[in-house]
Amino acid sequence: MTIRKVITKLQELHIAPRKSKRGVWNNSTLTTLLRNETYYGKAHYNKTIGIVPDHPKNNNKYKRIKKSSRKNKPEADWIYIECTPIIDRELFDRVQKQLRINFERCVRNRKNQYLLSNLIRCTCGSSRTGEGPQHGKHLYYRCSGYVNLFPLPAKCHEKGINARIADVLVWDGVKRLMGSPQLLHRQVQRYFDKKSQKVDHTADINEINHELDKLTTEEERYTKAYGQQVISLSQLTSFVQDIRLKRSVLEKKLDGLTVEQTQAPFAKPTDEQVKSYCQKTKAKLESLDFQGKRKVMLHVIDKIIANQKEVHVYGLLPMTEANYVKYTSEDRNCRLAKRWKIHII
């Protein structure tokens, strides 16, 4: 059931919203309600922070409240509060799954097909979003920094990339890599050469764990101080926020070192295995439709950084069902304006 069908059902049952001049439910109101975790017993505190708006509606010199806007804090700073649930967690998860399915299958979200959607980024660091002017006659990947700031002056001056050309170039490059035994041999050799230079991170891991224990003890001291009314709630929130920020940085670093330290080595694939893999992969890739290509791209590619002159592709290439060989490919794809043809250098 879609959000609009829910609105229609509520209207038929004469269930009006608490605040509405029109007397009807808004899509955003219902969406926020359906995604509110408080209903299954998980409330949040310290989720937002007051800020001064960049473009205030009220431009009076005197303002009783200057921080009239709010923005979300990082999830690591949220303080969870247990409350009485009124629905089951299973029901809440089913609703979230249905909301995702509705979004993915919505007609307006698949009007045009973009193979590199959510993967391609601009050289300025912003993501590139698909845009199809003239009813889809021309499709482009434009920098979201330019799109989001319009009509304000853009900070990024990179132009759009022809989506059809970029899709073909990247897909052909992926097929060429996955179907070429010579290219795969080079990537496999580079992977094992890097693995042979493995460094022992035991001392770094122990040091990070010691720092995490110190942060946990420090947070407990601040909590006890607040319970004894030595510090205020605002002070507790500030101290805990700093501690959790430090902890998130250390935990991320610890995860990377642990994976690198405990990653089990696997046997180097033989020439026959690589050749057989390429033959099967090449035959399979030739028969894929758009959805099949999209799944391959999401599974193989990590990110794409591109402008009108070049495209850099980074990702992970699966050699077996359980192991992955990391590769970084950098192909410069240029379009010569005089001949209007694609040349891959």
Radius of gyration (C-alpha) of the chain in whole angstroms: 26
pLDDT at 197: 64
Task: Flag whether pLDDT at 331 surpasses 60.
Answer: no
pLDDT at 150: 57
| Rounded Cα gap, residues 35 and 111, in angstroms | 26
| Rounded Cα gap, residues 60 and 5, in angstroms | 43
pLDDT band at 322 (very low <50, low <70, confident <90, very high): very low
pLDDT at 340: 35
| Rounded Cα gap, residues 284 and 324, in angstroms | 19
Per the CB < 8 A criterion, the answer to whether 331 and 176 are in contact is no
pLDDT band at 341 (very low <50, low <70, confident <90, very high): very low
pLDDT tens, residue by residue, 227-248 = 888 888 877 887 887 788 788 7
pLDDT band at 149 (very low <50, low <70, confident <90, very high): low
- The verdict on whether omega for the bond into residue 133 sits within 30 degrees of 0, i.e. cis, is no
Token couple for 11: 């209207």
Intra-chain end-to-end CA distance of the chain, in Å: 50
Least trusted range by pLDDT, from 26-30, 129-133, 170-174: 129-133
Token couple for 312: 């850099």
From 311, 317, 322, 330, select the one nearest 115 (Cα to Cα). 311
Q: Which of 177-181, 215-219, 331-335 has the highest mean pLDDT?
A: 215-219
pLDDT at 283: 84
pLDDT band at 337 (very low <50, low <70, confident <90, very high): very low
SS3 318: strand
Per the CB < 8 A criterion, the answer to whether 221 and 235 are in contact is no
CATH of domain 3-57+65-109: 3.90.1750
Number of other CB atoms surrounding residue 230 within 10 Å: 12
Mean pLDDT taken over the chain: 77
| Largest interatomic CA distance in the chain | 78
pLDDT at 75: 80
pLDDT at 7: 84
State percent of the chain over pLDDT 70: 80
pLDDT at 105: 57
pLDDT tens, residue by residue, 244-263 = 878 877 887 888 777 766 66
* 3-class secondary structure per residue, 284-307: HHHCCCHHHHHHHHHHHEEEEEEC
| Rounded Cα gap, residues 160 and 307, in angstroms | 8
pLDDT tens, residue by residue, 85-138 = 898 888 999 888 888 877 765 655 556 788 888 788 888 888 888 877 656 577
| Rounded Cα gap, residues 27 and 10, in angstroms | 12
pLDDT at 321: 40
Task: Flag whether pLDDT at 62 surpasses 70.
Answer: no
Least trusted range by pLDDT, from 11-25, 42-56, 311-325, 330-344: 330-344
Q: Where are the domains of the chain?
A: 3-57+65-109, 202-262
| Rounded Cα gap, residues 117 and 128, in angstroms | 8
Task: Flag whether pLDDT at 29 surpasses 80.
Answer: yes
pLDDT at 336: 36
Task: Flag whether pLDDT at 324 surpasses 50.
Answer: no
Task: Flag whether pLDDT at 268 surpasses 80.
Answer: no
Ramachandran quadrant class, 27 (left: phi over 0; alpha: psi -120 to 50; beta: rest) = alpha
Q: What number is the average pLDDT over the span 50-79?
A: 78
Which residue bears the tokens 């006659």? 137
pLDDT at 71: 85
Least trusted range by pLDDT, from 68-77, 152-161, 194-203: 194-203
| Rounded Cα gap, residues 112 and 167, in angstroms | 13
Strands (E), 33-119: 42-45, 48-51, 69-72, 79-82
pLDDT at 157: 83
Task: Flag whether pLDDT at 264 surpasses 70.
Answer: no
